[in-house]
Structure 1
Amino acid sequence: MGRFHWIKNYLNNNDNNNLNSIADIIPNLFDEYLLIHWKIGVIENFPFEEYPLKNETIDQINKRIKIEKDFGLFFNYDEDIYFKEVSLNYISKKFKKELDYKILDNIIEIPAIKILEKESIESLYLSLNKITKNKSLNLFIEDSYRFPTPNSLKQEYIGINIKEYIQIQEDLNFDYFTYLFPDDLNWCLITSEDFPMFLCINKDLIEEVKSSFELELFKINYNRQLY
């Protein structure tokens, strides 16, 4: 059997189109399933209490614009330089919300809080290099047919390296159903459309991954309904 038989067979026999758990996207072959959260940044000293949560009246609009201008956020494409990386625990205490992978969903959208995409991708690259240990990697892209340029994206990649993987994911905006795994299937990194990223690992890697991974991780039950 080929390297990709295990996932192709599972997906071919899974007719559930209402994705809401890890069980909907991968067979239960691993000991732990970890949800990966992108890095978060905030604007220091931003007046969160003063910033209007609604944008309906002229007064609210003007006050929003003034605050955004004062902190370099108003139509500033270089605004990332003003954001300081913080932990989700900081966000939890700052906004008095339960520490959870859905914490940002429980905070009203404010321009002074954002996902740090560049820093997150860099940390993912470093983290994957740590756990890969020069092993040969394989990548399966279930929905490669969605890519707008025909024949430029394969469904199966054998012997791919981390740099190549990251480049593909940036081209796909991390929004395709992909499975990255070594030949021994000791772990698998999953991305999917409108769904979190997951790292599935076997028990001999658990402590190493939790101590060295550079993005925040949340242990998730295989059958847990995520939303």
Structure 2
Amino acid sequence: MATDFGVPKSKLFPIRPRSPWFARPMQSLAFILAVNWCLQGMRGMDRKELAFRLPAELVLALLLAAAAGWWLEAPMALLSGLVAAHTMSFTLNGQLWVCVRYARFWHREPAALERFLLAAAADLRTRPRLREAVCIGSRGDRGVIRSERSDLDLRLVFPPGARAWLAVNLLLLRLRAEAFLRLIPLDLYAYDSPESLRRFDQRERLLVILDRDGRLATLFPERVASFSP
């Protein structure tokens, strides 16, 4: 599929209508943004990430609703708080640029994505509690970013323990917010266990940033490749 500047990528959805009257609008930026604003990648999250994401957004919504209650009636204040919190989450803790890269006007230099990945990998390696981190997708499989429409597919694995759970979720928030500010299409999740990586194409390589306990090498001996700057 062509990914050159000016030629938009096709977004794949679980539902693929046969009629072009439905299929064509589904490839519009407005539709892609609307769907991702609603779902915010939660279909791809494991329980430990959802257990942070949903309560955090609810708390933020209640705080915003309380602030809006000074000038709005309670039902409207609550609705406004929910919408505002969901929008803030989509912006700072979501995948806005991953969606926008499907637009005709989008292009981002592969070197910018590579610099972000190198900085993120160096950061992850300084965190002793974090045991596994991999890059998948085109960068993980081919070892290089070639397209101006590429994104970075980064996956972490939660270590055991409540403090590590909180630390990794806050790390996800920071990395996504930084990617948003730097216009980096970052597709980032943390999984409950390395077995969650089996949901992807088993023929593709895993570019290993961290494998402190050797679990990735044990589970995917034919797929792992070492990440090197």
TM-score by length of 2: 0.28
Structure 1 or 2: more strand by fraction: 1
TM-score by length of 1: 0.28
Structure 1 or 2: more helix by fraction: 2
